[in-house]
């Protein structure tokens, strides 16, 4: 996302690192699990700053369900869908997000 380049690059780097680590350790007893977070309604950064997004309890329940199911990549809501998108789908999704953001600001 152009509005948050460091945040976006960091998420991409963590995903790439997690995939590489998972492959390096596949013949060991170590399990590498990635959790992709959607927007979550928390008090991170201060009360009332993140009132949008998935309720934290709903998100946590979904993550534990994925862990119990043996998933190595776990997402929820928009993050689950984004994990499975093709490059073209990602580009389309980001363009739609920017268009919606512009309409919200104007």
List, for residues 59-85, the tens digit of each pLDDT value: 999 999 999 999 999 988 888 888 888
For the chain, what are the domain ranges? 5-105
Assign 42 a pLDDT band (cuts: 50, 70, 90): confident
DSSP the chain: -TTSHHHHHHHHHHHHHHHHHHHHTTTSS----EEE---EE--TTSTTS--SSEEHHHHHHHHHHHHHTT-SEEE-THHHHHHT--HHHHHHHHHHHHHHHHHHH-
Q: Could you tell me if 36 and 75 are in contact, meaning their C-beta atoms sit under 8 angstroms apart?
A: yes
Output the pTM of the full model.
0.73
Using CA atoms, how far residue 73 sits from 3, 9, 13, 65, 66, in Å, is 26, 18, 15, 12, 8
Instruction: Please give the Cα distance from 54 to 16 (Å, whole number).
Output: 25
List, for residues 84-103, the tens digit of each pLDDT value: 889 899 889 888 888 887 77
- Residue 23's pLDDT is what? 96
Please list the active-site residues: 7
């Amino acid at each position: 996302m152009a509005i948050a380049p460091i945040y976006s690059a960091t998420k991409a780097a963590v995903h790439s690192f997690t995939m590489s680590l998972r492959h390096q350790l596949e013949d060991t007893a170590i399990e590498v699990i990635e959790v992709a977070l959607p927007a979550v309604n928390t008090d991170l950064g201060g009360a009332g700053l993140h009132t949008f997004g998935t309720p934290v309890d709903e998100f946590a329940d979904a993550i534990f369900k994925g862990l119990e199911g043996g998933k190595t990549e776990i997402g929820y809501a928009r993050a689950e869908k984004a994990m499975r998108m093709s490059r073209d789908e990602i580009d389309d999704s980001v363009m739609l997000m920017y268009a919606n953001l512009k309409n919200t600001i104007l």
